[in-house]
Structure 1
Amino acid sequence: MAFSLQTLRLASSIPSSVLRLASLPNKTLTLSSFTYSIRKPSSSLGLIVRAVSVASSSLVEEEKVSKPQWKATIDFKWIRDNKDAVFQNIKNRNSVVDLELVLQLYEKLLTLQKEVERLRGERNVVANKMKGKLESSERQKLIEEGKNLKEVLATLEENLVQLTDKLQQEAQCVPNMAHPDVPIGGEDCSALRKMVGSPREFSFPVKDHVQLGKELDLFDFDSAAEVSGSKFYYLRNEAVMLEMGLTNWAISKVMRKGFTPLITPEIVRSTIVEKCGFQPRGTNTQVYSIEGSDQCLIGTAEIPVGGMHMDSILSDSVLPLKYVAYSHCFRTEAGAAGTATRGLYRVHQFSKVEMFILCRPEDSDAYHEELIRIEEDLFSSLGLHFKTLDMASGDLGAPAYRKYDIEAWMPGLGRYGEISSASNCTDYQSRRLGIRYRPSSSEASPNSKKGKANSGPTQFVHTLNATACAVPRMIVCLLENFQQEDGSVIIPEPLRPFMGGIERISPKNK
């Protein structure tokens, strides 16, 4: 911690109220080296100016802080004013966030911003004085004072940039607030919302989907492991038709509810992944990153669909925007292992049909209910036995305000397995993606970019997402629930028109 001799001498005369600006937890930040030339101050404010410079420099870590590539529009004042509620929400979610650090950085940012604005005002005063008729000595004195202010401002403005970046880096980890009715605790504390049907009773030994797939020649895990690695697979024969049938069935059913169909890019910039609330870096990430680039493979179509309207101002008249998107999804499934994840249940690549809604804030709860009803109707129509859960706080991802999961009975696995979820993310994603709307009759188009819409107050939209069909797990459910004693599998009637009329998958040797 090297300081210039001049800086140390100045610090000895700094008021304690200013020195307190430099206090931060030792475990996180340290006081870094900070030196610059000091001319004789032209006013008694010089010492305090330099004191704030020294104090603000303590906000920079010894190791260089990586500058965020984007800035979320976070309501820091709301977080400060509701500190206790935010802290409890972080605790309930088991999130790793240093809220005290966020609040301390925010207070220091406010102090530094005020000081920068004050010095800019002084600089303008000096500049105005220079415009009048002055004695040579007086003009020289003002020139010196202007130089001093310019140098100190340059230092403080750089510190302001670094402090803003550090605050963003820490605050972007703060999760969304949870709905007041969300159960508190881990996944086991989730509340039952609805139970549909009952487990099928079998008069013969039940097979799991892996055995059924082998006997019906539907999967090839061994070749996929040789070609791609574990948790990959080939689909064969009727399984190919089943995937395509499920996809087309889900899209056509959801389109009738007013959703616009999409096929999305499956590679996106890592910043889009971050803005949607996912972590593309770190040892426990579920995201595949492309080495040597700023791009990632998507884990869900929610990411490219959310990014489609990034930095847009939408007209009130176009809301809600409802999309149903098909994509392949890629997940590392870090840490996933065991018999409960064998076969198709947990894989690295799969097809999925995803619903996504952008709406006015006051409508998001109602659309959340609409999404879960669509999911329940879809799975009920196939004759599946499932339960809908209001997920507990410890199972909510950072963006989710509330999340409903649907778990279907999988007799071969002997347990319920998640096949779908529906989340209301309120304005968590839109504040990061920069998606606003104008609550009026303005004529902004759905794709009008930032700065090109009519003037007037705007608000952040709310975003929601829900799974219409995660194909591999649906295949698990269908094979295990509709298996027959002769080894065949009955195809539910709603899917048959989308599979070329196939009614049954039978063993090839019969």
Structure 2
Amino acid sequence: MIDLRLLREDPDRVRASQRARGEDVALVDSLLSADERRRSSGVRFDELRAEQKGLGKLIGRAAGDEKAELLKRAEQLKTDVKAADAERDAADTETQELLQRLGNLVHPEVPVGGEEDFVTLETHGTHRDFAAEGFEPRDHLELGQLLGAIDVERGAKVSGSRFYFLTGVGALLELALVNAAIAQATAAGFTPMLTPALVRPQSMAGTGFLGQAAQDVYHLDKDDLYLVGTSEVPLAAYHMDEILDADRLPLRYAGFSPCFRREAGSHGKDTRGIFRVHQFDKVEMFSYVLPEDAQAEHQRLLEWEKQWLTSLELPFRVIDVASADLGSSAARKFDCEAWIPTQGKYRELTSTSDCTEFQSRRLSIRVREDKKVRPLATLNGTLCAVPRTIVAILENHQQADGSVRVPEVLRPFLGGREVLEPVAK
């Protein structure tokens, strides 16, 4: 959530942020009104309580008619205090509910607009000219079937659409990717983490995934637990309700977990293969830093993602995501999109978001510095979303006979294997 003091001091900035996100601007005025009621009712309660305490002392010294009048006033005060307390609680509840609906403040350099209004910042690598090489590229599903690596038919039989099996070298390729990604993250100073896939509502809400993203989340009603769509959620909640010492920062974690997404609203999109699925594994970077260090940390996370994709020898571009496509927690987000030859376009493989103090305020995570306590900043960055990375590797490193060249960075994790060979015609 944002700082209420900032809302009061500069409501136009918050309105502009809401407008850029394509969200309800009137929410700002509703929140300002609720906050004013919360503060005024709090003042009223304090005044009545002070009078009530003072009256108690006077009653002890009074007698006769004076005491009777004071007792009568005391009874009225008791009623008024109870009413003021209820009014204060109601106003506070309304303020918090409205505050939870407000997205993070959009960074001023973020391009304004929707999904297609991003700005391309960098382009890396070159697209292969398959025509010059004398063959038509196969898509990742055809390659996966030739390699005995991907089985979507049995995935659908067992679990339904958008599920799959990774088999043989497909399973080995996932393990190689995960181990290589964790090795890079560890070398960069991240602490490896295996995180829970089920979290409590306060963890999911605290990271901002029960607002606009709620329709994409799986919920277990009987247990009131949520399946995570990213290990960002348990990594953000790891220090929930804690005060961290400034000399411990930055704290960097690399979490590996299964991820579950309903993919609501994606009917008809990416129905072939394993690009858009309901369950997948992912290595996620997560950082806790001082707020003034957040933008520099954001650039560092992006550099680690670029290093990873470069090591996989993939052509990719970096985009500055537009305001209406950020997600409620992010003030700014960069995506790295790999070239997918058979689709003839770039597709998202990794992203990194600067969430400023938004998540730490919701999760009550603070930092102690020079005897002062304040919220800190959180950032996240995907290092390897496994299925999409497999898609990019198979398509970009395929050869005419259906085999796939293994990027050098993965070979030590595949027993030195340089090529994945077809096992079926």
Normalising by the smaller structure, the TM-score range is over 0.9
- How many corresponding residue pairs? 421
Matches of 1:265 and 1:296, distance apart in 2: 10
Q: Identify the residue that residue 177 of structure 2 maps to in structure 1.
A: 246
Is 1:232 the counterpart of 2:163? The answer is yes
Q: Identify the residue that residue 35 of structure 2 maps to in structure 1.
A: 106
Post-superposition Cα deviations, 1:216-265, rounded to whole Å, max 9, x if no partner, equal 22111111112111111111110000000000000001111111100001
Higher relative contact order (CA 8 A, sep 6+): 2
- TM-score, with length taken from structure 1: 0.80
Matches of 1:480 and 1:269, distance apart in 2: 39
Q: Is the 8 A contact 2:217 2:228 kept in 1?
A: yes
1:200 paired residue among 128, 131, 141 = 128
2:276 paired residue among 326, 333, 346 = 346
Runs (5+) with no aligned partner, structure 1:
1-71, 441-455
Is 1:90 the counterpart of 2:18? The answer is yes
Structure 1 or 2: more strand by fraction: 2
Task: Give aligned-pair identity as a percent.
Answer: 40
Q: Give, as a single letter, the amino acid of the residue that structure 2 aligns with 1:175.
A: G
1:422 paired residue among 331, 352, 357 = 352
Relative to structure 1, the CA distance from residue 80 to residue 127 in structure 2 (aligned partners, 3 Å threshold; closer, same or farther) is: same
Q: Is the 8 A contact 1:404 1:422 kept in 2?
A: yes
| SS at structure 2 position matched to 1:285 | helix
| SS at structure 2 position matched to 1:340 | coil
Matches of 2:237 and 2:327, distance apart in 1: 18
Post-superposition Cα deviations, 1:259-290, rounded to whole Å, max 9, x if no partner, equal 110000110001111110111798x6111011
Is 1:457 the counterpart of 2:387? The answer is no
Q: Identify the residue that residue 106 of structure 2 maps to in structure 1.
A: 178
| SS at structure 2 position matched to 1:458 | strand
Q: Is the 8 A contact 2:21 2:324 kept in 1?
A: yes
Q: Give, as a single letter, the amino acid of the residue that structure 1 aligns with 2:56.
A: A
Q: Give, as a single letter, the amino acid of the residue that structure 1 aligns with 2:53.
A: N
Matches of 1:340 and 1:241, distance apart in 2: 24
Matches of 1:509 and 1:114, distance apart in 2: 77
Q: Identify the residue that residue 290 of structure 2 maps to in structure 1.
A: 360
Matches of 1:109 and 1:339, distance apart in 2: 46
Offset at residue 137 of structure 1 (A)? 2.0
Matches of 1:339 and 1:318, distance apart in 2: 44
Matches of 2:289 and 2:3, distance apart in 1: 20
Q: Identify the residue that residue 116 of structure 1 maps to in structure 2.
A: 45
Matches of 2:23 and 2:162, distance apart in 1: 29
| SS at structure 2 position matched to 1:189 | coil
Question: RMSD between aligned alpha carbons?
Answer: 1.5
Is 1:406 the counterpart of 2:363? The answer is no
Offset at residue 105 of structure 1 (A)? 0.9
Q: Identify the residue that residue 232 of structure 2 maps to in structure 1.
A: 302
2:316 paired residue among 376, 386, 402 = 386
Q: Is the 8 A contact 2:146 2:424 kept in 1?
A: no
Q: Is the 8 A contact 1:270 1:280 kept in 2?
A: no
Offset at residue 195 of structure 1 (A)? 0.5
Is 1:323 the counterpart of 2:253? The answer is yes
Runs (5+) with no aligned partner, structure 2:
none
Matches of 1:75 and 1:332, distance apart in 2: 32
| SS at structure 2 position matched to 1:327 | strand
List aligned pairs for 1:465-476, cutoff 5 A. Answer: 465-476=380-391
Q: Is the 8 A contact 1:340 1:413 kept in 2?
A: no
Matches of 2:280 and 2:23, distance apart in 1: 28
